[in-house]
Amino acid sequence: MDEYRTRVRIYAGVVLAVVLLLGLRLVQLQGMNGATDDGLPPGSAVREQAVEASRGAMYDRNGTLLVDNRPTYTILLTPRYFDRSKGPLLADLLGVPDSTVQQKLGEARARNAFRPTPSFREVSFETFSRVQEHLYELPGVSYDLELRRRYHTDAQAAHVLGYIHEIGKSTLAQKRSEGYRSGDRIGRTGLESAYESTLRGKRGRELVLVNVHGTEVKQYREGTMDEPAVGGHDLHLTLDHELQAFAESLFVDKRGAAVALDPDTGGVLSLVSKPDVDPALFAKSVSTATWDSVRSAPHDPLFNRATQSGYPPGST
């Protein structure tokens, strides 16, 4: 009988311990998901948002600005929180067919259903304003400011400066450990590629509180845990933009290459390879059709004849 009572007491003690542990866990969950010192209703969460770093600018030998950045408006979709019945409303605000919204939604879901994905880039300020006014009706829709390259001189210097483009899957697989994410833009040719790590800067982050619909409510802890972005470093080149523009003018409707060097330092004063492509073309989102037309254009404008070809020497 004593042995039986002992077993009952042990069993009751184990059950009591389990109940106490479950009760403690329930209290913890209520503290996390219920009303908190942040004043949020149940179901709220903290979401991390990336803050894009400003890419470094480029200047010529005389301090003339060649390339910097311009802000653009981007609409982001978070599929997990998006209400499909709101598709027609968003389409109307953006001025696109509802089928386009559904297509973008599918693409965003394939990337990450829980992460805001840039879906409509470079929308006008007027369009952005319309969407912003209706955000309270559009769970799963948010916006961001993205930076695009801006060119300031008549000299294209396309093969010198190079261009940036959205990172591809294979490159992303190699560079994910360096902090790159899907949708990031990376230097593909020229100085943009050679000095990618210098120009790129470091992405920041901000934490925001979102409600059960994924809509941003306010900053988390008043932004005290945010990490500011660190801008990239500028490049000061040996290039002379006036000489570059003059050299390019000599190759209008022609094919060929020309390089001018500083006889004292060996610095490149100008470098021309024609035909080429205006790098401003890649400063905005490029459609597959546009990219294919560039790649298939006559005489391969992406080929740098000044550095990738061999020519017999001329008379001296």
* Separation of alpha carbons 244 and 202, rounded Å: 32
* Separation of alpha carbons 93 and 20, rounded Å: 53
Mark whether 273 is an active-site residue. Answer: no
Residue 124 class from Cβ within 10 Å (0-12 exposed, 13-18 middle, 19+ buried)?
exposed
- From 170, 177, 296, 315, active-site residue: 315
Task: Give the pair of three-digit tokens for residue 154.
Answer: 């008549």
Cα 122 to chain centroid, rounded: 12
* Separation of alpha carbons 6 and 156, rounded Å: 89
SS3 per residue for the chain: CHHHHHHHHHHHHHHHHHHHHHHHHHHHHHHHHCCCCCCCCCCCEEEEEEECCCCCCEECCCCCEEEEEEEEEEEEECCCCCCHHHHHHHHHHHCCCHHHHHHHHHHHHHHCCCCCEEEEEEECHHHHHHHHHCHHHCCCEEEEEEEEEEECCCCCCHHHHCCEEECCHHHHHHHHHHCCCCCCEEECCHHHHHCHHHHHCECEEEEEEECCCCCEEEEHHHHCCCECCECCCCEECCCCHHHHHHHHHCCCCCCEEEEEECCCCCCEEEEEEECCCCHHHHHCCCCHHHHHHHHCCCCCCCCCHHHHCCCCCCCC
Please check whether residue 141 is in contact with residue 81, taking contact to mean a CB–CB distance below 8 angstroms.
Answer: no
Q: What residues are labeled active site?
A: 315
